[in-house]
A and B are shown apart, each in its own frame.
Chain A
């Protein structure tokens, strides 16, 4: 029963990839993809339900291991995958009409999108750390084509930077995995199981602490590159800003969290072996650095998609801080923040994509007073921008508040104050930019040329923007019991290493 479900979950991206090759109509291709993804999301909900009732599941000779942490990630990957697919229906048809005439290019897009989703599903469900490495590398290779989809100078440059930086980074992670495996064989652990996460947890207390410290540093650099933590973040703004909008949402919503997932899994083992302080302080340091650096770039930013990309850097820093505070409350907040950020960031990228289609520019100098030109997109931009910056009624505020109070509870005074300070800087920068864009004075020079371009919000665009908007508004005031339980269980798994 369970095995069938997980097999089905794997096969959906493959099936969807094949089925989008067949039809000739652009709209049907998009609808087909969206319905496959909705199906996978429903399936993911059932899998999460199973995980919640059984605690953890391992199958196929232990090669797949599912617990609440992977359950949360499956939920996130399929949810963002669904929203992105729905948005792609209208966005990609528009793109196809405006720039790209060839239908095979569109089919290629959907094929790669499915490969990308598949590699991320593999990343979050496998047991072996080695296979996790392989899956993360696969996701880089699949998404490189999506980042450079438009094949002009800037996207090609972004894709090249992305692929080279992430591949080198991940090579470092391999060194870390080799060292950990060596530590296992050194204490006489079973060689065939030596990389399996569930086995590593059981023998972690025996592993050589010095070796594990070195291994963790390599892993943090390696997967940290993929997660986009500063100072390894330089691929992130380029890739996010040059990719097609749905892909930006996917990159920012889940891909960088897969990097965090890899770090988290390894940090649990390291904590069990070395003790609490080492890995958490390192993660906290990189998290604070990421928020600080993103603040500088957010204030001076001119391009709306790069602004959103740097805000991703900020949020990945917030998540890292939550993990680094090493307090159940803060970790709960960090995991909750992953969900919130994925939702808000998808929403914002979609809105910015609509603006770009209408105004034909990503430059914020020309994107002013949008609320007068596009009432719906403008309003969503205003609400989403405030939510993104972290204003109260929305769920991002709640998770940030959890993280901060966790940090204070854990007596990280200096780090908490810095965290709050950086957040304030980012809040100022983001709300300035978004207020200028929405209710600022309309730029007269471009006005005539905007009204001549016709852009109407389609149904799929509305649905894909309403879904995350509703979710962040509801989660800000009320959390459904299953999600609460899932987050609580996942928090317990992460804090497993803190008991010593």
Chain B
């Protein structure tokens, strides 16, 4: 394991370190909900995944998990390099980069998500789960629930198929945060399997976005109205 990095984490206050990262995760997801360039959204997604992996790494070092470096490296390669690359590739193929029409105006959706997050941060500590669940750094539980809901919000309010995939992955990142917060990590087999599923999922859904573009000449999912009843 990387000795200097480990030493750095142990020397510094790991709680404040991970608190900064939790802040980044939350901020990025709110920014994503108000972002109209798809390329920027993919970059934001990579940043968010990176922060989460760092949080997991810090937690692993503090808990003396011997495999943490390998696991975080693999997840880093999957979530920060491969999935964004696949999504960027799809974006290049379909040549649509801006999303102008949405069901909820983007500034409004940002405000809504801020309110939602504030509400969750106000409510969660009061219902007593926070004390029960193992809290790595203050606010990670509230953050994870907020990120899951923001991901859902993005999926529901956007019309472009590709943006819906990104929303799905934001939601998945929220679940990843929940995993880190409650149980640190899944058994290794499961963790790797989930990553594999996400990778295949990005490929498969990318293909379908491309096919929607081919058949319907748009990637607005509101055009998909052939099947009813």
A158 at interface by CB-CB < 8 Å? yes
B205 at interface by CB-CB < 8 Å? yes
User: Contact at B215–A152, with CB atoms within 8 Å?
Assistant: yes
User: Contact at B193–A134, with CB atoms within 8 Å?
Assistant: yes
Q: Interface readout for A167-197 with B: 1 if CB under 8 Å, 0 if not?
A: 1100100110011011001100001101100
A492 surroundings in chain B (CB, below 8 A) = none
Q: Interface readout for A132-165 with B: 1 if CB under 8 Å, 0 if not?
A: 0110011001001100100111101111110110
Bound CA span A191–B183, Å: 9
Q: Select one of B186, B200, B224 contacting A141, CB under 8 A.
A: B200
Bound CA span A191–B201, Å: 28
A297 at interface by CB-CB < 8 Å? yes
User: Contact at B201–A128, with CB atoms within 8 Å?
Assistant: no
Contact A134 B226, CB 8 Å, known A152-B215, A178-B179, A192-B187:
no
Contact A131 B161, CB 8 Å, known A141-B200, A159-B208:
no
User: Contact at A130–B175, with CB atoms within 8 Å?
Assistant: no
A163 surroundings in chain B (CB, below 8 A) = 204-205, 208
A238 at interface by CB-CB < 8 Å? yes
User: Contact at B190–A167, with CB atoms within 8 Å?
Assistant: no
User: Contact at A160–B221, with CB atoms within 8 Å?
Assistant: yes
B229 at interface by CB-CB < 8 Å? yes
Contact A156 B178, CB 8 Å, known A130-B189, A168-B171, A181-B183:
no
B112 surroundings in chain A (CB, below 8 A) = none
B211 at interface by CB-CB < 8 Å? yes
B225 surroundings in chain A (CB, below 8 A) = 157
Bound CA span A128–B190, Å: 9
Q: Select one of A63, A141, A171, A241 contacting B172, CB under 8 A.
A: A171
Bound CA span A63–B189, Å: 10
User: Contact at A178–B168, with CB atoms within 8 Å?
Assistant: no
User: Contact at B175–A174, with CB atoms within 8 Å?
Assistant: yes
User: Contact at B215–A160, with CB atoms within 8 Å?
Assistant: no
A301 at interface by CB-CB < 8 Å? yes
A156 surroundings in chain B (CB, below 8 A) = 208, 211-212, 215-216
Bound CA span A202–B77, Å: 38
A306 at interface by CB-CB < 8 Å? yes
B182 surroundings in chain A (CB, below 8 A) = 178-179, 181-182
B61 at interface by CB-CB < 8 Å? no
User: Contact at A141–B208, with CB atoms within 8 Å?
Assistant: no
Bound CA span A235–B155, Å: 16
Q: Which residue of A lies closest to B190 (CB)?
A: A130
A159 surroundings in chain B (CB, below 8 A) = 208, 211
Contact A131 B227, CB 8 Å, known A144-B204, A156-B208, A182-B182:
no
Bound CA span A241–B171, Å: 30
Bound CA span A192–B183, Å: 12
User: Contact at B171–A134, with CB atoms within 8 Å?
Assistant: no
User: Contact at B227–A195, with CB atoms within 8 Å?
Assistant: no
A53 at interface by CB-CB < 8 Å? no
A191 surroundings in chain B (CB, below 8 A) = 187
B108 at interface by CB-CB < 8 Å? no
A314 surroundings in chain B (CB, below 8 A) = none
Q: Select one of A130, A144, A195, A301 contacting B208, CB under 8 A.
A: A144
A242 at interface by CB-CB < 8 Å? yes
A300 at interface by CB-CB < 8 Å? yes
User: Contact at A242–B215, with CB atoms within 8 Å?
Assistant: no
B216 surroundings in chain A (CB, below 8 A) = 153, 156
Q: Which residue of A lies closest to B216 (CB)?
A: A153
B70 at interface by CB-CB < 8 Å? no
B205 surroundings in chain A (CB, below 8 A) = 163-164, 167
Q: Select one of B172, B190, B208 contacting A134, CB under 8 A.
A: B190
B226 surroundings in chain A (CB, below 8 A) = 153-154, 157
Q: Interface readout for B109-134 with A: 1 if CB under 8 Å, 0 if not?
A: 00000000000000000000000110
User: Contact at B133–A182, with CB atoms within 8 Å?
Assistant: yes
A192 surroundings in chain B (CB, below 8 A) = 187
Q: Interface readout for B168-200 with A: 1 if CB under 8 Å, 0 if not?
A: 100110010011001100110110011011001
Contact A157 B193, CB 8 Å, known A141-B200, A181-B186:
no
Contact A171 B215, CB 8 Å, known A178-B178, A178-B183, A182-B133:
no
User: Contact at B224–A300, with CB atoms within 8 Å?
Assistant: no
B49 at interface by CB-CB < 8 Å? no
Q: Select one of B164, B183, B200, B201 contacting A182, CB under 8 A.
A: B183
B164 surroundings in chain A (CB, below 8 A) = 164
A194 surroundings in chain B (CB, below 8 A) = 187
Q: Select one of A134, A160, A185, A301 contacting B224, CB under 8 A.
A: A160
User: Contact at A137–B172, with CB atoms within 8 Å?
Assistant: no
Cβ < 8 Å to B, chain A residues 342-362: none
Bound CA span A134–B186, Å: 13
B204 surroundings in chain A (CB, below 8 A) = 141, 144-145, 163
Bound CA span A189–B177, Å: 22
User: Contact at A157–B227, with CB atoms within 8 Å?
Assistant: yes
Bound CA span A425–B140, Å: 50
Q: How far is the CB of A134 from chain B (nearest CB, A)?
A: 4
Bound CA span A137–B172, Å: 13
Q: How far is the CB of A177 from chain B (nearest CB, A)?
A: 9
B211 surroundings in chain A (CB, below 8 A) = 148, 151, 156, 159
B187 surroundings in chain A (CB, below 8 A) = 128, 130, 191-192, 194-195
User: Contact at A160–B200, with CB atoms within 8 Å?
Assistant: no
Cβ < 8 Å to B, chain A residues 91-142: 128, 130-131, 133-134, 137-138, 141
Bound CA span A170–B62, Å: 32
Q: Which residue of B lies closest to A302 (CB)?
A: B229
User: Contact at B183–A131, with CB atoms within 8 Å?
Assistant: no
User: Contact at B197–A141, with CB atoms within 8 Å?
Assistant: yes
B133 surroundings in chain A (CB, below 8 A) = 182
Q: Select one of B175, B196, B201, B224 contacting A167, CB under 8 A.
A: B201
| 24 A-B pairs with C-beta separation under 8 A | A63-B189, A130-B190, A130-B193, A131-B189, A131-B193, A134-B196, A141-B201, A141-B204, A144-B208, A148-B208, A148-B211, A156-B215, A157-B224, A157-B225, A157-B226, A160-B212, A160-B221, A164-B205, A168-B152, A168-B168, A174-B194, A178-B182, A238-B227, A241-B227
A residues contacting B by CB (< 8 A) are 63, 128, 130-131, 133-134, 137-138, 141, 144-145, 148, 151-154, 156-161, 163-164, 167-168, 171, 174-175, 178-179, 181-182, 185-186, 191-192, 194-195, 237-238, 241-242, 297, 300-302, 306
Sorted nearest first, the 5 A-B pairs with minimum C-beta distance are A130-B190, A134-B193, A157-B224, A182-B182, A238-B227
